[in-house]
Chain A
Amino acid sequence: AVARTPSRRPGMAEAEGDAGLEQGLGPAAEGAELAAVIGATVPTGFEQTAAEEVQEKLGSASRISRDRGKIYFEVPARSLPQVHRLRSVDNLFVVVQEFKDYQFKENKEEALKDLEDLVKKLPWTDPLKVWELNNSLKKKKTKRKKHNLQSPASREKPSDGGEEGGADQSTTNDQDCAQNSVAVEPTGGQDTENPQGVMARNGVEKEEEEEDNEPPDVKGEVQADSESGTKAGDGQTGEEEAKVLKFRVTCNRAGDKHSFASNEAARDFGGAVQEHFQWKADMTNFDVEVLLNIHNNEVVVGIALTEESLHRRNITHFGPTTLRSTLAYGMLRLCDPQPTDIIVDPMCGTGAIPIEGAAEWPCCYHIAGDNSPQAVKRAANNICSLLRKNESKDSSTALGVPLDVIQWDICSLPLRTGSVDIVVTDMPFGKRIGSKKKNWDLYPACLMEMGRICTPGTGRAVLLTQDKKCFAKALSRVGHIWRRAQTVWVNVGGLHAAVYLLRRTWERAEERRSFW
């Protein structure tokens, strides 16, 4: 393999740190030159926001599919490290092929047979190279992590796969979002339980945590063992052991005109995949996860590039209603933070939003507050974890984080009138925290107080709530302070919620309190 220095391109930051990607990786180095079509799952409703992040950080335009919660964009495969650093994305996959208008046969057997026949016609080669390149990325981080911790990774990880995606599917008429595997008779004989294969997966789990602050290790040595070499379908020689890849198929199906269910499609498609590649089917310890996404007549075949969703990345101490980081990021982006903005989350819970804010918008000052002592303690702990992550890079002092936590009462905020640029929060839903009746009183009081602290004219608020009726009523009462600029319909843990972007009017709030 030839080591190449990747050239700088506009929109591609930090390219030189990833030079190590291509050195000595053999067949995977070819993959770096490819143009990869990447599919990304994002919180439903925030497709546009995610597309903007992709444009900003990767210089690529995105397509937003009709299958909500997914965007597609093309990047050179060497940009994979930057792709993994996107903050609005839950999961990533490389597209094998997309069918905009696939005609399904009405008869179930025929429709399924068509899917089986499809397998050998698909252009697997390049996407598999991208998958392999992506794998070698993960391994570098595994090895580095092992050096740091010096502890063998031996945890069993429950695979999360399609279930996460399932929760985000819009509730259409007839929908199968079950995560399925192939129920295929195991091929006779060779059950080489390669422990290395298991390690890779555990390594990935750790990798998800470390991702945001460890720069790629340019000096990473190449492993001599067989893992990185084997490519399915290629007669790969020169390796000590020919490792048979393990795979599973996950099918998501939505639409009311299909004659088959997702598990049937997964089963038959998987059978054909196994035939074609001679891979071994394995539900839990797979190397390759093939995705079969069917949304009415739109069919996308892909290969997963992430295993565990990125959305809990910043949070080590969970609370009962911790918001996922990708949703927090989307909400923050919506209010377009500018350098020196003061951003307040007055009901911060475990601090998901301010922590995401401080990480991604370090030129703003973030204040997190809550009345609950448990919440405040968890938020403080999460910030400490963040500080500790930063610390491992520098031996001396840790870089501070522009973020503070305070215990306070949302209806009596110890902040001066008009001193805050942005208020962003996840308002109590009344299902898991508080109650619907409490919301009737809380919402108007909140909006008034948030209106008071917010800068007239330029200030804005981004508020997530499931209690849309209550919110609308409360908003109608404070029309002199807030006006609705945009509404994003989202799905939070299976509940239909809304994110409201509000703009502060020019009207000054009355100075009704002299206590502060």
Chain B
Amino acid sequence: PLPPKLGRPSELPPEPGPGYEGDEEFLRRLHHVLLELEVLEGSLQCPDSGRRFPISRGVPNLLLSEDEA
């Protein structure tokens, strides 16, 4: 099954809000994104550097290149 595009603004807020531990609706959505969705093809982006790391067949490649290390 194709996973939907992740990180849609309507699905999850950018940060957990105050008292998120008790917000069941939020927790369900978070659980879904964390444990029930699998990115098969895509990328992860580092929030600091902006560097993108590819995800291929479900496996992210987080190896740094020679000059990055």
Contacts from A to B (Cβ < 8 Å)? 371, 376-377, 380, 400, 402, 405-409, 412, 414, 514-516
Task: List 30 A-B residue pairs with CB atoms under 8 Å apart, sorted by A's residue number.
Answer: A371-B63, A376-B59, A377-B59, A380-B57, A380-B58, A380-B59, A400-B35, A400-B36, A400-B38, A402-B35, A405-B58, A405-B59, A406-B59, A406-B61, A406-B62, A407-B59, A407-B60, A407-B63, A408-B63, A409-B62, A409-B63, A409-B69, A412-B64, A412-B69, A514-B48, A515-B46, A515-B48, A515-B64, A515-B68, A516-B46
B6 to chain A, nearest CB (A): 15
In angstroms, Cα B49 to Cα A514, docked, is 10
Closest B residue to A409 by beta carbon equals B63
In angstroms, Cα B48 to Cα A377, docked, is 29
In angstroms, Cα B46 to Cα A377, docked, is 24
Chain B residues, CB < 8 A from A409: 62-64, 69
Q: Is the CB of B62 within 8 A of A515?
A: no
What sequence of 0s and 1s flags, for each residue 21-39 of chain B, a beta carbon within 8 Å of any chain A beta carbon? 0000000000000011010
Q: Is the CB of B58 within 8 A of A414?
A: no
Query: In this complex, which of B49, B60, B62, B64 has the most chain A Cβ atoms within 10 angstroms of its Cβ?
Result: B62
Closest B residue to A411 by beta carbon equals B69
Seed contacts A376-B59, A377-B59; 5 additional CB < 8 Å A-B pairs = A371-B63, A405-B59, A407-B60, A407-B63, A409-B69
Number of interface residues of B (CB under 8 A): 16
Closest 4 CB pairs of A and B: A407-B61, A414-B62, A408-B62, A405-B59
Chain B residues, CB < 8 A from A400: 35-36, 38
In angstroms, Cα B58 to Cα A376, docked, is 11
What sequence of 0s and 1s flags, for each residue 4-17 of chain B, a beta carbon within 8 Å of any chain A beta carbon? 00000000000000
Chain B residues, CB < 8 A from A376: 59
In angstroms, Cα B61 to Cα A380, docked, is 13
In angstroms, Cα B64 to Cα A408, docked, is 8
A407 to chain B, nearest CB (A): 4
Chain A residues, CB < 8 A from B64: 409, 412, 515
Q: Is the CB of B36 within 8 A of A407?
A: no
Q: Is the CB of B49 within 8 A of A515?
A: yes
Chain A residues, CB < 8 A from B58: 380, 405
In angstroms, Cα B61 to Cα A377, docked, is 11
A351 to chain B, nearest CB (A): 11
In angstroms, Cα B38 to Cα A405, docked, is 11
Closest B residue to A368 by beta carbon equals B59
In angstroms, Cα B60 to Cα A406, docked, is 5
Closest B residue to A373 by beta carbon equals B61
In angstroms, Cα B55 to Cα A408, docked, is 12
B58 to chain A, nearest CB (A): 6
Closest B residue to A369 by beta carbon equals B62
In angstroms, Cα B61 to Cα A129, docked, is 55
Chain B residues, CB < 8 A from A371: 63
A403 to chain B, nearest CB (A): 10
In angstroms, Cα B35 to Cα A408, docked, is 21
A358 to chain B, nearest CB (A): 12
Chain A residues, CB < 8 A from B60: 406-407
In angstroms, Cα B57 to Cα A280, docked, is 53
In angstroms, Cα B66 to Cα A412, docked, is 12
In angstroms, Cα B63 to Cα A376, docked, is 12
Chain B residues, CB < 8 A from A408: 62-63
Closest A residue to B34 by beta carbon equals A365
In angstroms, Cα B69 to Cα A409, docked, is 10
Closest A residue to B69 by beta carbon equals A412
B39 to chain A, nearest CB (A): 10
B44 to chain A, nearest CB (A): 9
Chain B residues, CB < 8 A from A412: 64, 69
B5 to chain A, nearest CB (A): 19
In angstroms, Cα B61 to Cα A118, docked, is 63
In angstroms, Cα B48 to Cα A409, docked, is 19
Chain A residues, CB < 8 A from B57: 380
Chain B residues, CB < 8 A from A377: 59
Chain A residues, CB < 8 A from B61: 406-407
In angstroms, Cα B36 to Cα A513, docked, is 31
B28 to chain A, nearest CB (A): 15
